[in-house]
Structure 1
Amino acid sequence: MNFELPIVAPSILAANFARLGQDIDDAVKGGASWIHCDIMDGHFVPNISYGPGVVKAAKSSAPQAFIDVHLMIENPDDYVEAFVQAGADLISVHFETCPHLHRTLQNIKKYGIMTGVVVNPATSLHNIEPVLNDVDLVLIMSVNPGFGGQSFIESSYDKLKRLAEIREEQELGFLIQVDGGVNLKNAKKVAESGADILVAGSSVFSAEDITARFEELTEILG
């Protein structure tokens, strides 16, 4: 797939679930082409979010949007098919939860969707170098996963830069995504550090005018 980069991907974890469809529609009106879905199980991360039903609802609300599913869960292989059926266009899994990472990525690929690998702030990029040729996207967590509204971890800038260097050195084509603490003040620097896709939750959905806020974030990225 070809995408016009950089992309802001609103995370519906921060949306108002009582009016989820309206919040998503407001983001789409502002230009959102990706919808980011954070799935938490209360085991790998200290929070529980939602399951395939909400992902399916998001897809129904924005049928033209690219549905980006981030599995922050143990045993992700058990749930891949359910999220594919719910409408996922991309499923990303954590290095930290996949003892057989290559097999998990192949399991996602067999459904004909895009695959991603995720690393926590304290996880070195060296751990995922063996699979960089097998993924469509690498997600750098710029907060410790589990809750929205956290502050961006400053060392993430260097991690993004190094990942971009690795991609260039090895002539690979994966996208670089960042998730956590992205806002109006740091979005430009995050993109300049190498991020192609910036996940934004609270900074979008906590705004009084979601459409205007999304447009503002997009304008900052140029």
Structure 2
Amino acid sequence: MTFDRSIKIAPSILAADFANFGAEIDAIEAQGADWIHVDVMDGHFVPNISFGPTTCAAIRPHIKTVMDVHLMIAPVDPYIDAFAQAGADIITAHVEAGPHIHRTLQAIRAAGCKAGVALNPGTPAEAVEHLLDLTDLVCVMTVNPGFGGQKFIDMTNKVRKLRSMIGDREIHIEIDGGVDPTTAPLVAAAGADVLVAGSAAFRGGSVSNPAPYGDNIRAIRAAAEGAL
């Protein structure tokens, strides 16, 4: 993974057809996805359950781009090696998920992955200020984590603050929640470069009719780039 700040669209497979993950990933990558975002939820840290390392390992051969694994779980540390072995390129843990996020980020890097840290809407940018030298990505939640399809919560001031704090460090700012062609320009203008899109990326298409995936991705990308 070479670092750049160009706009990257990361469709969330939470919005894909669960019975057809491999074909869905093949289709959405062919239609222009830059990364594949994998939302892992435990029914404990967030009020929903999705899937674990075994599913990640099963879909890894289909992902030709970047496997961006977002752990909405607590505790995180006992599972880092399993997700690394499942093929994650990036593992993101929540600053709110435990008392030792610094140690968690060290462990993610030690496992050979890029380290991400996520912030819930109620958590200030300052929570990651002393973590930036261990961090490759900051994920700003623009919904309360747990479910797809929620309404966007405006976090542009937080994104601006993070962008200023990051300076010239090679750290991505990722936005997760409610991203569509209307909200993408707001966060892109504030400094975000990775846009997670679930329903907005997969809406209207299917494995047998993937063209809408491409239309959706192009619309989000054009809206975001137009704000730069």
Q: TM-score, normalised by structure 1?
A: 0.93
2:215 paired residue number: 212
Instruction: Give distance in 1, aligned partners of 2:40 and 2:200.
Output: 19
Contact 1:23 1:210 in 2 (8 A): no
Aligned 8 A contact 2:181 2:224 in 1? no
1:94-147 per-residue CA deviation (whole Å, 9 max, x = no partner) reads 000121111111111112210011110000111211111110111100100000
Do the aligned partners of 2:68 and 2:90 also contact (CA within 8 Å) in 1? yes
Q: Kindly provide the amino acid, as one letter, of the partner of residue 110 in structure 2.
A: K
Superposition pairs of residues 35-184 of structure 1, within 5 angstroms: 35-62=36-63, 64-154=64-154, 156-168=155-167, 171-184=168-181
Partner of residue 184, structure 2: 187
Q: Give the C-alpha shift of residue 3 in structure 1.
A: 4.1
* Contact map agreement 1:75 1:97 (CA 8 A) in 2: yes
- Find runs of 4+ consecutive structure 1 residues off by over 3 angstroms: none
Deviations 1:30-79 (A, max 9, x none): 111311001000001000011112212321112x2110001000011111
**Following the alignment from structure 1 to structure 2, what is the Cα–Cα distance between the partners of residues 107 and 186?**
34
Give, in whole Å, the separation in 2 of the partners of 1:18 and 1:211: 21
Whether the 8 Å CA contact 2:84–2:112 is kept in 1: the answer is no
Task: Give the conservation status (yes or no) of the 8 Å contact 2:185–2:224.
Answer: yes
Higher mean C-alpha displacement, 94-103 vs 17-26: 17-26
Q: Give the partner amino acid of 1:17.
A: F
Q: SS at the partner of 2:44?
A: coil
8 Å CA contact 1:23–1:205 kept in 2: the answer is: no
Aligned residues: 218
User: Any unmatched runs of 5+ in structure 2?
Assistant: 206-211
Q: CA deviation at 1:29?
A: 1.1
Q: Distance in 1 between matches of 2:59 and 2:181?
A: 25
Paired with 1:24 and 1:207, the residues of 2 have a C-alpha distance of 16
Do 2:3 and 2:170's aligned partners in 1 also have CA atoms closer than 8 Å? no
**Alpha-carbon distance in 2 for matches of 1:31, 1:118:** 25
| Contact persistence 2:137–2:173 (CA under 8 A) | yes
Distance 2:27 2:185 in 1: 22
CA distance in 1, matches of 2:224, 2:181: 10
Q: Which amino acid aligns with 1:32?
A: A
Contact kept, 8 Å, 2:10 with 2:194, in 1: the verdict is yes
| Distance (whole Å) between structure 1 residues aligned to residue 28 and residue 43 of structure 2 | 28
Tell me how far apart the structure 2 counterparts of residues 98 and 132 of structure 1 sit (CA, whole Å): 17
Q: Supply the distance in 1 between the matched residues of 2:185 and 2:105 (Cα, whole angstroms).
A: 31
When the two chains are superposed, the root-mean-square deviation of aligned CA atoms in Å is 1.4
2-structure distance, mates of 1:70, 1:94: 9
Separation in 1, partners of 2:161, 2:193: 14
CA distance in 1 between counterparts of 2:55 and 2:222 reads: 29
Could you tell me the percent identity over the aligned residues?
A: 46
CA distance in 2 between counterparts of 1:173 and 1:60 reads: 27
